[in-house]
Structure 1
Amino acid sequence: MNQQPNDILHGVTLKMILTELEAEYGWEELGRRIEIRCFTHDPCLSSSLKFLRKTPWARDKVEELYLRWKMEADEP
């Protein structure tokens, strides 16, 4: 079986990522960190997920932010 034990994103959905980031930073801060309209103008989970699922470059930025946040949380 091909498992990826070191891949932090393995088994984590985009919805989980966005929910955690929004809880940690809030929409306003997310919009500052990643300047995309779905975070800066009437943000909500469903419209942001719809946009991110069809826009690879934006999804990549969200995943990168999530990974940086998780790495910082793991530091002593």
Structure 2
Amino acid sequence: MSTLELRSTLHRLIDQISDDVVLQAHLTLLSREVTQQSADFWDDLSPEQQTSIDRGLADLAAGRRKPFSSILKKYAE
């Protein structure tokens, strides 16, 4: 099915729904999907989190790795 056919089918099905609760549920689901596509989770991270991820990726690229147990120990304290 093409994108145009999918959209047409969705429109037709939505037009057939008379239950406001069901329509609200679909509206919520579709709104979340559109919001997630347009937003990048990276922008929601704090600068400290972004720096930590960048540092971890640089270490990984350089071949430096930490045992998982040492990472767990850090957060257990």
- The TM-score, its normalising length taken from structure 2, stands at 0.35
Whose RCO is larger (CA < 8 A, sep 6+)? 1
**Larger of the two Rg values belongs to structure:** 2
